[in-house]
Structure 1
Amino acid sequence: MDEASKLPSETAPPTGSPEIDAEHAIQLGLLRAAQAQLNRGDDPGQGSDEAADATELVEQLFTYSHAHFLSEQLLMRLAARSNYEGHVQRHEELMQDLDAVRAHMQSGDHAAAATVLRAHERRLLEHIRSWDQAV
């Protein structure tokens, strides 16, 4: 079984905003690429190159997610959307997930990083299904 077939294939549900939907696709693509690289790094025949690649992908995911959330928050403010504070709180929680992944990567605990990343994916998809439908 190849690595891609081990990954969830769920796509982000559409929000009604093509721009936000495109950003979600990039976000999920980075997340799944990081997961695949972490899985490759767990193979006995693989080494530090995979870990370095996974670390770089996690950093890209962190940076992209931060920018995406700021973009969403700006759109919400411009549209005077209700429950802005609650939505921002969810973004902060998602970023805390990614901070935890980064910390595990830095300490060399790639198994823990992969576990948190899988949980983050589930929370991110749920966030998109619920909170982002109102953006």
Structure 2
Amino acid sequence: MTNISDFNSASNAATDGEHDVQLGLLQALCGAVAAHRDAASVSEILDQLIAYSEAHFMSEELLMRLKSHDDYADHVDDHSHMLDVLRQIAADHAAGSSPLVAAKAAEVLDFIGNHIATRDRRFADQLRNGQ
């Protein structure tokens, strides 16, 4: 399983805590599905993850707009993609497709880790350089 520390070295200090929470929720989701926890527990984690991700992405996108970040559109596309996948995971879970949930949750964990290590790192560099 991916470790939170693998991704946070690339992130902006102002959002490290938010990334920790988001990655922790993703890891909790992967763990809950792998442990065959009850549907209500998995749903609760999914609901928290989706709500938290929406808030985090909104905050980050506002900051990017304020800073006229040149990678804004692609960065936002990543956020939209992740939210779409999370919502599909929730729909699959509600339909009783737990094997799909496990695979998709692991893919999202890898996707967001890469996003933090690349797009978030680039934006953090821009902020550190005062641009």
Q: Give your verdict on TM over 0.5.
A: yes
Q: Which amino acid aligns with 2:91?
A: A
Contact 1:90/1:127, CA 8 A, preserved across alignment: yes
Pairing of 1:14-29 with structure 2 (within 5 A): 14-15=9-10, 17-29=12-24
The equivalent of 1:96 in structure 2 is: 84
SS of aligned partner of 2:70: coil
Q: Please give the per-residue CA displacement for 1:4-37, whole angstroms capped at 9, x wherever unaligned.
A: xxx3335323345322111000001111111111
Q: Which ranges of structure 1 fall in alignment gaps of 5 or more residues? A: 1-6, 42-48
Q: Which amino acid aligns with 2:2?
A: P
Q: Does 1:74 align with 2:62?
A: yes
Q: Does 1:9 align with 2:35?
A: no
The equivalent of 1:30 in structure 2 is: 25
Measure the CA separation in 2 of the matches of 1:73 and 1:9.
25
Question: Aligned Cα RMSD in Å?
Answer: 1.4
Moved over 6 A (4+): none
- TM-fit CA distance, 1:134: 2.3
Q: Please give the per-residue CA displacement for 1:30-74, whole angstroms capped at 9, x wherever unaligned.
A: 111111111121xxxxxxx62210110011001101111111101
Contact 1:16/1:133, CA 8 A, preserved across alignment: yes
Q: Does 1:60 align with 2:54?
A: no
The equivalent of 1:105 in structure 2 is: 93
Q: Does 1:127 align with 2:115?
A: yes
Q: Which ranges of structure 2 fall in alignment gaps of 5 or more residues? A: 124-131
Q: State TM-score, norm by structure 1.
A: 0.84
| Number of residue equivalences | 122
Q: State TM-score, norm by structure 2.
A: 0.86
The equivalent of 1:115 in structure 2 is: 103
Measure the CA separation in 2 of the matches of 1:108 and 1:123.
24
Q: Which amino acid aligns with 2:64?
A: M
Q: Which amino acid aligns with 1:32?
A: Q
Measure the CA separation in 2 of the matches of 1:66 and 1:78.
18
Q: Which amino acid aligns with 2:90?
A: R
Q: Which amino acid aligns with 1:14?
A: S
Contact 1:40/1:50, CA 8 A, preserved across alignment: no
Quick one: structure 1 residues 65 and 16, their matched pair in 2 at CA, closer, same or farther if it must change by over 3 Å? closer
